Structure 1
Amino acid sequence: MSRTDRIDRVEASPVPAGRPGLRLAALSIGQVVSWGILYYAMIVAAPEVARETGWSLVAITAAFSAGLVVSALAGVFVGRLLDERGPRTVMSLGSLVGAVGLVGVASAPDLVLFAGAWIVCGIAQSAVLYQAAFTVITRRYGARRQLPMTILTLAGGLASTIFAPIVAGLLAVLDWRATFLVLAAVLAIITVPLHLLSLERRWPHRHAVHDEAVHTVSSVLRTRRFWMLENTMITVSVALMSTTLAAVPLYMEKGLTFEFAALALGLIGAGQVIGRLLFLVLPHGVRPWVPVAIVCALAAISLAALALVPGPIWLLIVIGVVAGAVRGAYTLVQASAVADRWGTRNYGAINGAFAAPITIAMALSPAIGAAVATGVGSYAAMTAVMAGLAFVAMLTARAT
Structure 2
Amino acid sequence: MSQPVRADAGPSTRLRLAALSIGQVVSWGILYYAMIVAAPEVARETGWPLVAITAAFSAGLVVSALAGVVAGRLLDQRGPRVVMTVGSAVGASGLVVVALAPNLIVFASGWLVCGLAQAAVLYQAAFTVITRRYGERRHTPLTVLTLAGGFASTVFAPIVAVLLTALDWRSTFLVLAAVLAAITIPLHWATLERSWPQADEHHPHPEHTVSSVIRTRRFWMLEITMIALTVALFSATLAAVPLYMEKGLTFEFAALALGLIGAGQVVGRVLFLVLPHGTRPWVPVALVCALAAITLALLAVVPGPPWLLVLIGVVAGAVRGAQTLVQASAVADRWGTRNYGSINGAFAAPITIAAALTPAIGPAVAAGAGSFAAMAAIMAGLASVAAFTARAT
TM-score by length of 2: 0.99
Q: CA deviation at 1:211?
A: 2.5
**Deviations 1:68-127 (CA, angstroms, capped at 9, x unpaired):** 000000000000000000000000000000000000000001111100000000000000
- After TM superposition, the structure 1 stretch with the greater mean CA deviation from structure 2, 109-118 or 10-19, is 10-19
Pick closer, same or farther for the CA change 1:46–1:395 going to 2, 3 Å: same
Return the match for 1:172 from 150, 165, 171.
Answer: 165
CA contact (8 A) 2:284 2:326 kept: yes
| Map of 1:3 onto structure 2 | none
1:78 paired to 2:71: yes
Instruction: Read off the aligned partner of 1:147 and give its amino acid letter.
Output: T
CA contact (8 A) 1:33 1:159 kept: yes
Give the distance between the partners of 2:43 and 2:188, measured in 1 at CA: 34
CA contact (8 A) 2:95 2:173 kept: yes
Structure 2 SS opposite 1:311: coil
Q: CA deviation at 1:258?
A: 0.5
1:291-302 matched pairs, under 5 angstroms = 291-302=284-295
Return the match for 2:268 from 275, 278, 282.
Answer: 275
Instruction: Read off the aligned partner of 2:72 and give its amino acid letter.
Output: G
Instruction: Read off the aligned partner of 1:63 and give its amino acid letter.
Output: A
Give the distance between the partners of 1:83 and 1:335, measured in 2 at CA: 16
Structure 1 SS opposite 2:143: helix
Return the match for 2:91 from 92, 98, 110.
Answer: 98
Structure 1 SS opposite 2:38: helix
CA contact (8 A) 1:296 1:393 kept: yes
Give the distance between the partners of 1:17 and 1:138, measured in 2 at CA: 17
Pick closer, same or farther for the CA change 1:278–1:210 going to 2, 3 Å: closer
Return the match for 1:370 from 347, 352, 363.
Answer: 363
Give the distance between the partners of 1:12 and 1:206, measured in 2 at CA: 6
| Map of 1:34 onto structure 2 | 27
Return the match for 2:372 from 379, 395, 398.
Answer: 379
| Map of 2:238 onto structure 1 | 245
Q: In the comparison of the two structures, how many residue pairs are matched?
A: 393
| Map of 1:113 onto structure 2 | 106
Q: CA deviation at 1:205?
A: 2.1
Structure 2 SS opposite 1:71: helix
| Map of 1:284 onto structure 2 | 277
Q: CA deviation at 1:206?
A: 2.7
Give the distance between the partners of 1:16 and 1:176, measured in 2 at CA: 44
| Map of 2:36 onto structure 1 | 43
CA contact (8 A) 1:69 1:122 kept: yes
Q: CA deviation at 1:220?
A: 0.1
Return the match for 2:133 from 128, 136, 140.
Answer: 140
**Deviations 1:263-296 (CA, angstroms, capped at 9, x unpaired):** 0000000000000001000011100000000000
| Identical amino acids, percent of aligned pairs | 77
Gap runs ≥5 in structure 2: none
Structure 2 SS opposite 1:19: helix
Instruction: Read off the aligned partner of 1:188 and give its amino acid letter.
Output: A
CA contact (8 A) 1:157 1:273 kept: yes
CA contact (8 A) 2:4 2:133 kept: no
| Map of 1:201 onto structure 2 | 194
| Map of 1:87 onto structure 2 | 80
1:345 paired to 2:345: no
Give the distance between the partners of 1:333 and 1:14, measured in 2 at CA: 21
CA contact (8 A) 1:271 1:323 kept: yes
CA contact (8 A) 2:6 2:196 kept: no
CA contact (8 A) 1:225 1:399 kept: yes
Structure 1 stretches of 4+ with a deviation exceeding 4 A read 15-18
Structure 1 SS opposite 2:184: helix
| Map of 1:327 onto structure 2 | 320
Structure 2 SS opposite 1:205: coil
1:54 paired to 2:61: no
Give the distance between the partners of 1:264 and 1:247, measured in 2 at CA: 8
1:118-129 matched pairs, under 5 angstroms = 118-129=111-122
Instruction: Read off the aligned partner of 2:171 and give its amino acid letter.
Output: A
